[in-house]
Structure 1
Amino acid sequence: MPDFKGLNIRHHLVPGDLGQVASLHGRIYSEEHDLAIGFEAYVMECLIEFFSQYDEKKDRVWVLEEGERMVGFLVLMHRPNRMAQLRFLLLEQDYRGKGIGNELMEDWLNFYQEMNYKGAYLYTTSGQDPAVSLYEKYGFKRESTILSRYFGVPLLETLFRLKA
């Protein structure tokens, strides 16, 4: 198990987690990327989709906490045809640049391999350069990019894939 720099980590959801994840995304993406409340609503929709399909034998959550406060989150979500999706990777600003993202990605990949998934994918947007570097470091390859105004501002949405 990786050392998450003294943070508590759990792999199960408790009441309040999904709301905190949406709130973290809404606040951080507003502050750092000028995205409006529509982005938070999108995250809420995606969390509902995740939870409605959640299978503890196929999916995993990483809830990072300092004390009682959530400071990071990540999901491996099962998809059809033995595929996995990396979703909701987020760390509070004070926890970035300390190797936690690398440890999360390593743990995510270990679970992915243990579960014998055939491939994985993720979507991200422009302005996520540190995250993109992390994804590429761990083998995700850029597959396609489109220009979008889905969240109220022009963004490049990029699909990355990981081959088994």
Structure 2
Amino acid sequence: MKLIKYTNSYQKDVKDFVIAAHDEFNFPYDRKLDYDLDNPDKYYNNRGGMFYLLLDNEKVIGTAAVKKLDDKTAELKRLYVNKNYRGKGLGLQLFTEALDFCRENKIAKVVLDTNIKQKAAQKLYEKNGFKIDRVDKNTIFMSKILEK
């Protein structure tokens, strides 16, 4: 397995992977919310953020993205691991890589949101210092101030 930075050659694979991850939790594909999947370079890599892929023999098995919101704030997005690869620390590996990117780029605060159905993700975030800011219907909004 290898962790790489997103390149356009993986665009279709990434989109298919994230849609499949959404299907697992019965989240419908929504072009208004999922527009970034059509061009991750444009919405992440070319705007001061980063999109990571975890590959197993060139197959996408995990993703994580950092979306820069301003000079000091970023949003963690698209953290997914294929269900057949869970329980092996791969989500933590992607999560750690994303937070390391934030630190290297002088990001002071990371925000995220997750659905209440995603219990494993919530546990990962809370275990690693994210605090719940608010809950709105089925969405939990969390944040963390990064140590310098």
Max Rg structure: 1
Aligned twin of 1:83: 73
Identity %: 21
Whole-angstrom distance in 2 between the partners of 1:142 and 1:22: 28
User: 5+ unaligned residues in a row in structure 2: which ranges?
Assistant: none
Q: Provide the residue aligned with 1:27 in structure 2.
A: 20
Query: C-alpha displacement at 1:74, in angstroms?
Result: 0.6
- Report the CA distance shift for 1:77/1:102 in structure 2 as closer, same or farther (over 3 A): same
Equivalent position of 1:10 in the other structure: 4
Q: Secondary structure at the match of 2:52?
A: strand
- The 1:90–1:43 alpha-carbon spacing in structure 2 relative to 1, beyond 3 Å, is farther
Report 1:101-120 matches (<5 A).
Answer: 101-120=91-110
Rounded to whole Å, the distance in 2 between the matches of 1:43 and 1:23 is: 15
RMSD (Å), alpha carbons: 2.1
Deviation at residue 85 of structure 1 after TM alignment:
0.7
- Relative to structure 1, the CA distance from residue 127 to residue 57 in structure 2 (aligned partners, 3 Å threshold; closer, same or farther) is closer
Shift of 1:48: 5.0
TM-score w.r.t. the length of structure 1 is 0.78
Displacement, 1:46?
3.3
- Consecutive unaligned residues of structure 1, counting only runs of 5 or more, are 1-6, 148-155
